Structure 1
Amino acid sequence: MGRPGPKVEPLHLTEGERAELERWVRRRKGAQDMALRARLILACDAIGEDGLPVSTKVVAEEVGVSRETVSKWRRRFLAERLMGLADEPRPGRPRTVSDEQVAELIARTLETTPANATHWSTRSMAKQVGLSQSTVSRVWRAFGLQPHRSQTFKLSADPFFVEKVHDVVGLYLDPPERALVLCVDEKSQIQALDRAQPVLPMMPGVPERATHDYVRAGTTTLFAALDVISGKVIGSLHRRHRAVEFKKFLIKVDKEVPAELEVHVICDNYATHKTPAIKRWLLAHPRFHLHFTPTGSSWLNLVERWFAELTTKQLRRGVHKTVQALEKDIRTWIASWNDDPKPFVWAKTAEEILDALASYCRRITDSGH
């Protein structure tokens, strides 16, 4: 007696297909409908006692689905193999915003400003172009537009900018032998600030709280020299910020640096670094060599990065009733830093810096402003 129902075409699973289907079945995470389809196809590939593929009815009873479901996924697999088991894309809701509307929105965002503000908001732009606020927000996110944000920049007008960049970056990337490279600068007007009321300590669920107003107790100036290689810092605190104090700091550096080493000092173009008294001191100490960063390019001086660490970890939230207390904390912090110094590694070459600046200059030249 023959088998009931129409004959079914064998699937002839390859070893790779079988392994992939078994992986889908074992997978704990993921779409369960894919695991069901994988079990269904594996069942369809079985051979009955008569040597023929099992019937659709048998597979439906084994997997627990209807015969129509078995027939559907068997046909899809025979036509497209594993890819046929994925869901076909659904048509979904048709677009309500045209390409022309998107182009107009982007053009207005980039080329105009509202009459009563310096920049567009999602609400004001939505009202201007006749779209919903959520649509404007989605388009801005898709194109990376953030009208509410603004950044600052400054391009150096130093006529020897290129030469100075090569000089300073060369010291970072290829420091001379038997020499010390020091990044030197002053952090002036460091204020000793006492909060108007006691600081409330942090508690679970509540951050530390301090009053927004404070009492000024005076200022101090920190002269610092950062060793590019070791990361250690030579610091000196003074109440004033003149060439006299800078000379005292150079004398301190001279005493602390071994006499057999040359000293290359990277500093900015501040007037106190170029006075006749400083020039005479440098002539009397020929092992000191000053290298000036370009005008308006303090970012080239690595000691500025160290100043940022000092500000973040000690000064910004510090409470000091007197200048003496402030200076004591700064000295303690420098000593702690020098116990475990962390040098800042300069990565970009001079050519990479100049190429990036050239690209930026082309962008602002072509902006039309």
Structure 2
Amino acid sequence: MHCESGLYLRLYANPPEYLFLFDECTGIQALSRCAPDLYRNDHSQSRESHYNRNGTTNLIAFMHHGTGKVFGRCVTTHDTEKFIQVFLEHVRLQPKDKPLHYICDNYSTHYSQKVCEKVAELCNISSPKFNNGTERRKWLQSEDKRIVIHFLPFHGSWLNMIEIWFGILKEKTLDQGWFENTQALIIGIYDFIATWNDHYSHSFEWNYTGEGLQAVSVRRFNRLLKNECDQIDCSFLKSQLLLMKNIGSLYRERIPDEDWLYLTTLVKEKKTFIQDIITNSKKPKVKKWTHEAFIQLNEFLKLI
């Protein structure tokens, strides 16, 4: 996870008036059990483990940080067009003269060129043309326009508070429901959203400060390199190499010397292992980006 986690923790601590967290909950299954639930004398529940699958739906949901109220739409797909449709519906429900801030993960649908064009249209400004996703994310996060989309660090979806609400939805409705078809499932989800907003919605208090996270990240990467884990994906390796460089640039004083020295030693000793992961990648762009990240880290560690 990148070091920008501190930015989001500060954003939660001092939130704008209109701060929303959104994400997709995909592949929600409409399940019906093969036999009804039974209840024992002590009121505990006995549930049949066998079930029928009756279709799926996807939920795109937005939660207001200050109130916990949720806006959600069930959709058959969660591609760019459908996301823009739901996003546009949400924006139009907000005051037209207020800045809107959104927090989301790095799913590519959230920062496509079409999303940039729609945000520009809603802000009454022209939309630049971008060469890549990095440029699009940077522009969407810029605060010189009415709508700002803040992207969580890679591998940092747990920082999105709406994941807490998804857990409540699962516990209270999805795990308890009996859905003969997708329409029954959708009705159940919408009923829960309405009940939540009317009676139970509240803001979630975020107490985690991120203290110690950088040192934990370094030690974890050290263990992966030490054990030469052959399941390491090249994209994941790229993000970890960049993460180590960012940690060293911004938070070196928070890392115990023995952990940082061990990282330097492992990057040097495991050079062949790292290069093999890059060489064996079947994605040319990922291979190129990971190779560049490896060079950057080596330069930062003064190994080349």
Q: TM-score range by the shorter chain?
A: 0.5 to 0.7
Q: Which residue number corresponds to residue 336 of structure 1?
A: 195
**Which protein shows a greater Rg?**
1
Please point out which of 232, 251, 258 is paired with 2:69. Answer: 232
* Separation (CA, whole Å) in 1 of partners of 2:165 and 2:172: 11
Letter in 1 for 2:186: E
Deviation track 1:289-312 (CA, whole Å, cap 9, x = no partner) reads 110001111111000011011111
* Separation (CA, whole Å) in 2 of partners of 1:354 and 1:245: 38
Structure 2 vs 1, CA of residues 358 and 206 (structure 1 numbering), >3 Å: closer, same or farther?
same
Aligned 1:82-231 pairs, distance under 5 A: 156=1, 161-162=2-3, 164-176=4-16, 179-200=17-38, 202-205=39-42, 207-231=44-68
Q: Is the 8 A contact 2:22 2:63 kept in 1?
A: yes
Letter in 2 for 1:296: H
Please point out which of 153, 165, 172 is paired with 1:294. Answer: 153
Q: CA deviation at 1:208?
A: 1.8
Normalising by structure 2, report the TM-score: 0.63
Q: CA deviation at 1:359?
A: 4.0
Q: Is the 8 A contact 1:167 1:291 kept in 2?
A: no
SS class of match (2:212): helix
Q: CA deviation at 1:206?
A: 5.9
Deviation track 1:14-55 (CA, whole Å, cap 9, x = no partner) reads xxxxxxxxxxxxxxxxxxxxxxxxxxxxxxxxxxxxxxxxxx
Letter in 1 for 2:47: A
Structure 2 vs 1, CA of residues 359 and 273 (structure 1 numbering), >3 Å: closer, same or farther?
closer
SS class of match (1:191): strand
* Separation (CA, whole Å) in 2 of partners of 1:294 and 1:261: 26
Structure 2 vs 1, CA of residues 360 and 197 (structure 1 numbering), >3 Å: closer, same or farther?
same
Q: CA deviation at 1:166?
A: 2.8
* Separation (CA, whole Å) in 2 of partners of 1:194 and 1:260: 46
* Separation (CA, whole Å) in 2 of partners of 1:366 and 1:274: 33
Q: Percent identity?
A: 32
1:358 paired with 2:215, answer yes
SS class of match (2:15): coil
SS class of match (1:197): coil
CA RMSD of aligned residues (A): 1.9
* Separation (CA, whole Å) in 2 of partners of 1:240 and 1:198: 31
* Separation (CA, whole Å) in 1 of partners of 2:219 and 2:106: 27
Letter in 2 for 1:182: F
Structure 2 vs 1, CA of residues 366 and 297 (structure 1 numbering), >3 Å: closer, same or farther?
closer
SS class of match (1:220): strand
Structure 2 vs 1, CA of residues 262 and 212 (structure 1 numbering), >3 Å: closer, same or farther?
same
Letter in 2 for 1:329: G
SS class of match (2:45): coil
* Separation (CA, whole Å) in 2 of partners of 1:356 and 1:166: 10
1:255 paired with 2:92, answer yes
Q: CA deviation at 1:363?
A: 6.9
Structure 2 vs 1, CA of residues 364 and 240 (structure 1 numbering), >3 Å: closer, same or farther?
closer
Q: Is the 8 A contact 2:40 2:46 kept in 1?
A: no
Q: Which residue number corresponds to residue 312 of structure 1?
A: 171
Q: Tell me which protein shows more helix as a share of its residues.
A: 2
SS class of match (1:325): helix
Please point out which of 268, 271, 285 is paired with 2:122. Answer: 285
* Separation (CA, whole Å) in 2 of partners of 1:295 and 1:189: 22
Q: Which residue number corresponds to residue 262 of structure 2?
A: none
* Separation (CA, whole Å) in 1 of partners of 2:60 and 2:216: 35
Structure 2 vs 1, CA of residues 205 and 183 (structure 1 numbering), >3 Å: closer, same or farther?
same
Q: CA deviation at 1:346?
A: 1.2
Q: Which residue number corresponds to residue 83 of structure 2?
A: 246
Letter in 1 for 2:215: A
1:345 paired with 2:205, answer yes
Structure 2 vs 1, CA of residues 207 and 312 (structure 1 numbering), >3 Å: closer, same or farther?
same
Deviation track 1:68-105 (CA, whole Å, cap 9, x = no partner) reads xxxxxxxxxxxxxxxxxxxxxxxxxxxxxxxxxxxxxx
Deviation track 1:151-206 (CA, whole Å, cap 9, x = no partner) reads xxxxx3xxxx22x3133222211123xx4110110000000001112222x23136
Q: Which residue number corresponds to residue 266 of structure 2?
A: none
SS class of match (2:29): strand
* Separation (CA, whole Å) in 2 of partners of 1:213 and 1:250: 37
Structure 2 vs 1, CA of residues 366 and 330 (structure 1 numbering), >3 Å: closer, same or farther?
closer
Structure 2 vs 1, CA of residues 292 and 172 (structure 1 numbering), >3 Å: closer, same or farther?
same
Q: CA deviation at 1:323?
A: 0.5
Alignment gaps of 5+ in structure 1: 1-155
Deviation track 1:316-354 (CA, whole Å, cap 9, x = no partner) reads 1211001011110110100111113121111233xxx15
